Amino acid sequence: MEIPTFSDLKEEVIDAGLCTLCGGCTSFCRANKLNAIGMMNGLPNYINEENCLKCGICYMICPVTSELDEKLEEIYGKGIGKIIDVFSARSTDENVLKKCCDGGVATALLHYMLDTHFVDAVLAVKRMKGGRSMPILATSYNELLACAGSTLATIPSLDEIKYFSTYTSLLPELKEIGYGGIENIAITATPCQTKTIRKMQSAHILPSGVVKFIVGLFCIENFSFNTVTLRKFEEIIGGRINDIEKVNIKEKMNIIFKDGRRKDVLLDELKEVARKACIKCKIPFSNIYADVSLGGLGSEDGYTTVVIRTSKGKKIFDGALEEGFIEVHPEWNEEKKENVIEKIKEWTKKKEERK
Ligand SMILES: Cc1cc2nc3c(=O)[nH]c(=O)nc-3n(C[C@H](O)[C@H](O)[C@H](O)COP(=O)(O)OP(=O)(O)OC[C@H]3O[C@@H](n4cnc5c(N)ncnc54)[C@H](O)[C@@H]3O)c2cc1C
């Protein structure tokens, strides 16, 4: 049987409008100095087709193809995934609470990991003007803080991994940009990005080895705006994107503008401006391949829902709790936990059934 290659990926995923823009295929190709494929007009494409080894790895690691799905299912389960525990929690840091999306647990856990040298750096995402976002390799509290809060645009963060892989061939590059010494990173990722990293890790593919911890975000849909969709989005939300102070996505999208106005928008209303690939995406909503997955769903405002999925996730959550980086909601109990799990089931099904 012939191995599916980038040509198949192009036909089945990219040209079919299903590419999640995770950046996995291009980052793998570049990390291995092949540079056969890269981003062209915002999508992966051949840039030096003659360099293509037809190895099929780009096809295998794509989160949309079903390659390696059985292997991942064995480790992480399917549907709502494997759950060790669920909490509603928040950061104890006032600076984080002012900027964060929900309860600032993502920033708090990442801060704890940096502080305890569990990781050397964090690949997170910073919101820029005009709805655009930028991947940031944060090594300090202030850099992390600058990333707190959610961003709306789709970020090919995986594409950035090339800059801090510790593999020997890339070390000179690391030194050049001043990030020498970085061996382990944590990453914040949407479900598609997480799935690609796990596929790469399960097949020992460069440059995924540097990723020691994944803080996964629940994700029902994502956006990458052009002039038309940005205008439409601004019409729907009744304001300018640059005037947004905060965005939360729970059962609705909750927007707080800088002037204090709040607008709640049904996710169905946003369907026409969401990325088409996100609407068709069948990767489980609650980020089942992460070490911990976080969302606003099921928590009251100001708190983050935390799903602990791996023993590493439990270790970091417990440590951050013990060291006072986070606190659990004072009224958290078994009944609330069950309710949250039911909501996660409900939204997992909604995403699966969406067309
Ligand atoms: C596109 C998107 C869709 C989401 N959809 C839902 C949903 O449907 N239901 C739900 O309950 N929750 C959803 N979430 C998660 C939710 O909005 C919060 O991010 C989550 O609850 C963590 O909140 P926090 O206050 O603990 O995080 P914070 O402490 O504010 O930190 C958030 C971290 O996430 C990183 N980040 C932000 N945007 C991205 C991105 N696009 N890709 C990778 N990393 C990013 C930031 O760099 C930061 O480090 C979504 C998030 C995103 C980015």
What is the pLDDT at residue 183? 79
Question: Could you read off the pLDDT of 52-89 as tens digits, one per residue?
Answer: 999 999 999 999 999 999 999 999 999 999 999 999 99
CB 276 within 8 A of CB 17: yes
Round to whole Å and give the CA distance between 180 and 164: 8
**Of 149 and 153, which is predicted with more confidence?**
149
pLDDT > 60? residue 302: yes
pLDDT > 70? residue 182: yes
Q: Which top CATH class is 6-68?
A: alpha beta
Range 277-288 average pLDDT: 94
- Grade residue 170 by pLDDT with cuts at 50, 70 and 90: very low
What are the CB-based long-range contacts (under 8 Å, 24+) for 163-170?
163/137, 164/121, 164/123, 164/137, 164/210, 165/31, 165/206, 165/207, 165/209, 165/210, 166/209, 166/210, 167/31, 167/206, 167/207, 167/209, 169/33, 170/31, 170/207
pLDDT > 80? residue 32: no
Location of structure tokens 């947004």 = 244
What is the pLDDT at residue 202? 93
Location of structure tokens 């020997």 = 168
What is the pLDDT at residue 129? 64
Closest CA to 61 of 208, 164, 278, 220: 208
pLDDT > 80? residue 177: no
What is the pLDDT at residue 207? 72
What is the pLDDT at residue 172? 29
Residues 6+ apart with CB under 8 A from 192: 20, 22, 63, 64, 219, 281, 283
The total of other beta-carbon atoms located within 10 Å of residue 10's CB is 19
90 Cα nearest atom in ligand 1: 26
* Chain centre to alpha carbon of residue 15: 23
What is the pLDDT at residue 13? 97
What is the pLDDT at residue 171? 27
Location of structure tokens 């295929």 = 25
Range 100-111 average pLDDT: 96
**Ligand 1: residue whose CA is nearest its atom 37:** 150
Annotation: CATH topology of 225-272: Nuclear Transport Factor 2; Chain: A, (3.10.450)
pLDDT > 50? residue 49: yes
Closest CA to 223 of 261, 275, 163, 265: 275
Range 307-334 average pLDDT: 98
Location of structure tokens 């915002």 = 42
Rounded to the nearest angstrom, the distance between the alpha carbon of 22 and the centre of ligand 1 is 15
What is the pLDDT at residue 223? 80
How much of the chain, in percent, has pLDDT values that exceed 70? 89
- Grade residue 168 by pLDDT with cuts at 50, 70 and 90: very low
Question: Could you read off the pLDDT of 124-151 as tens digits, one per residue?
Answer: 888 776 556 777 788 999 999 998 987 6
Round to whole Å and give the CA distance between 162 and 24: 10
Best substitution site from 150, 213, 253, 329 to test ligand 1's pocket, by max atoms within 8 Å of Cβ?
A: 150
What mean pLDDT value characterizes the chain?
A: 87
Best substitution site from 86, 101, 145, 347 to test ligand 1's pocket, by max atoms within 8 Å of Cβ?
A: 101
Rounded to the nearest angstrom, the distance between the alpha carbon of 151 and the centre of ligand 1 is 7
- Grade residue 159 by pLDDT with cuts at 50, 70 and 90: low
Where do the structural domains in the chain lie, given as residue ranges?
6-68, 71-222+275-353, 225-272
Alpha-carbon torsion (76, 79, 85, 87), positive or negative: positive
In this structure, the residues whose C-beta lies within 6 A of any atom of ligand 1 are: 100-107, 124-125, 147-151, 155, 157, 188-190, 217-220, 222, 248-250, 294-297, 304
Length of the chain: 355
CB 286 within 8 A of CB 80: yes
144 Cα nearest atom in ligand 1: 49
Q: Within 13 Å and on the Cβ side, how many CA atoms surround 235?
A: 10
**Ligand 1: residue whose CA is nearest its atom 24:** 104
Range 160-182 average pLDDT: 40
pLDDT > 80? residue 165: no
Closest CA to 114 of 106, 102, 103, 126: 106
Rounded to the nearest angstrom, the distance between the alpha carbon of 180 and the centre of ligand 1 is 28
Rounded to the nearest angstrom, the distance between the alpha carbon of 293 and the centre of ligand 1 is 10
**Of 253 and 293, which is predicted with more confidence?**
293
